[in-house]
Structure 1
C-alpha cells in the first residue's frame, strides 16, 4: 500500500489514539462518513479551496456540520488540517487510516481481475489461497471484469501482483518465440 508521506503521519497519530481509546471501528466509520460528505458536496474542491473563505469560516462550517456527529478526535483532526492548510490531504489520511486498521485486524484488500465475474465460491477460494500467501487472516476481494485477460486471473494486493492470466502467459510465450529460449 502506498502511503501519503504527510497524510500517513496524521493517520498513524489518529490510529494510535483510536487504538488506545478502543475506537478503531467507530473512527473508521466517522472518517469514511466525513469523506463521503466531502465528496458528495464538493466541500474540499469548491469551498475549502476558495480564496475568499477564511480559516475561521471553514472551521465554523466544519464545527457546525460535524460537531455531535463525529468524535472530538475526528473533529480536532479536521480543525487541525484547516489550521495547517492541509485539507486536501484528508482523503489520503482516510485511506492510510483504513490501511492501518486493516493491518491491525489482519485484513488485506485485493483487486482480482478476471475475464468474467467471479462467483462467491470463487471469491472465497481466492481469498483463502491468497490470505495464506500474504499472511493475513482475511482478504477482501474486489472483482474487476477485464475481457483482455482472456482467462485465468490477476490479483493485486497492495504493491504485489500475482499474474496467472492467459494473456500474460501468451505474451511470455510470444517473447520466448521471438528471442529464443534463453534457459538452455
Structure 2
C-alpha cells in the first residue's frame, strides 16, 4: 500500500467516526493541534519514529500525552496510529482528513505556494477569484517554497495553476525549441 493510500484509509476512517459523532470541525482542530505539537518538536518526533523505542511504550506515551487534551475519538485515533506504526503518516492523514471535510461541506481547498508571502490583499484577491470560478467556499492555506525562483503555484482540489517563473521559462524554452529558433537569434 502506498503512502497516499495509507493516509487516505486512516483519514476516511476518522472522517466516518467524526461524522457519526457530528464533530467534523472539532476533530479537525484537535488533530491539527496535536500534529502541530508532535511535528514541531524534534524530540517528540524522533521518539515516535525511533525503532529503538519499544512500540508498547510509544503507545502508552501517546495515550498519556493526548489524554484530556483531545476528544475520545481523536485520542483513540492517535493511539491507534502509534500502535500501528503509522506516526510518520500523521501529516498526510490530516491533509486527507481536511480534504474529506471540505468535500462534505462543498468547500474547495486552495493552497498557494510562493517564494515569499504574497500578502493579505493578493491572497484575498486570488481567493475571491477562485471562489467565484468554482462557485463554492474556499479554504486557503499559504506556503512558502524557497526553491521557487518567483511567481506562485495554486493548488485547488485536484488542479494546479502554475504561475511560477520556472514554468514560464520552461514554456518559453519549449516554444523556442518547437520553432527551432537558432541560438543567438536575439543578439
TM-score w.r.t. the length of structure 2 is 0.74
Residue 74 of structure 2 corresponds to: 74
Bigger Cα displacement from structure 2, 86-95 vs 170-179: 170-179
Count of equivalent residues: 176
Q: Taking structure 1 as reference, are residues 129 and 72 closer, same or farther at Cα in structure 2, changes over 3 Å only? A: same
Higher RCO (CA 8 Å, separation ≥ 6 residues): 1
Residue equivalent to 2:183: none
Q: 1:35: Cα distance to partner?
A: 1.1
Q: CA RMSD in A?
A: 3.1
Structure 2 match to 1:91: 91
Cα 1:129–1:88 change in 2 (3 A) is same
Contact 1:117–1:145 (CA under 8 A) maintained in structure 2: no
Residue 156 of structure 1 aligns to a residue in which SS? strand
In structure 2, do the counterparts of structure 1 residues 174 and 68 end up closer, same or farther at CA, with 3 Å as the change threshold? closer
Q: Secondary structure at the match of 1:19?
A: helix
Q: Any unmatched runs of 5+ in structure 1?
A: none
Partner of 2:25: 25
User: Do the aligned partners of 1:131 and 1:139 also contact (CA within 8 Å) in 2?
Assistant: no
Q: Does 1:103 align with 2:103?
A: yes
> For the residues of structure 1 that align with 2:119 and 2:87, how far apart are their CA atoms?
40
